Amino acid sequence: MPASLTELESQRDALLRSLLSLGDFRPGSISTTSGRCGKPSCHCHQPGNPGHGPHWRLTYKRRGKTVSESLPDEPARRKAEREIAAYREFQLLSRQLLDVNLAICRLRPPAAAEGAGGLKKKRFAQSTPRSTSRSGAS
């Protein structure tokens, strides 16, 4: 059985409340680089050297361009992880919010959506006496 309008509206309220409590969020992915760099004179090219890193980076797209930020330490990395997790939550919530709104739009009758059900009735009531008076004159 499909959900009623009231049920859907309370679902939408709950989703909007969840969105409000999201906190900081950003898209992106965290990756790590380690190993040898491009400088042949660097210590990382000496035999037995474990190389650089690991260096953590946050990468994301902004206006079609890939942006990369370095995450210098553990707190910075954990902060970015929290922000990315919140962004996933945001995406999930906005998809659900869209679905609920689609269902609401489908269910809501046109008169209720206008919020002026009385307007049509008034217009209809005005046209009725005119037609009766015309028919009475002929």
- Residue ranges that bind Zn ion, judged by CB under 5 A: 37, 42, 44
* Cα-only R_g, the chain: 31
Contact of 67 with 29, CB cutoff 8 Å: no
Kindly tell me the number of DSSP H helices and DSSP E strands found in the chain: 4, 3
- Residue sitting closest to Zn ion (CB): 42
Nearer to Zn ion, 42 or 113 (CB): 42
Nearer to Zn ion, 19 or 42 (CB): 42
Query: Shortest gap between Cβ of 75 and Zn ion (angstroms)?
Result: 25
Query: Shortest gap between Cβ of 33 and Zn ion (angstroms)?
Result: 11
Query: Shortest gap between Cβ of 55 and Zn ion (angstroms)?
Result: 11
Query: Shortest gap between Cβ of 52 and Zn ion (angstroms)?
Result: 5
Contact of 17 with 32, CB cutoff 8 Å: no
Q: DSSP character for 1?
A: -
- Comparing C-alpha atoms, which of 2, 13, 6, 9 is closest to residue 93? 13
Nearer to Zn ion, 37 or 98 (CB): 37
Contact of 44 with 52, CB cutoff 8 Å: yes
Nearer to Zn ion, 41 or 138 (CB): 41
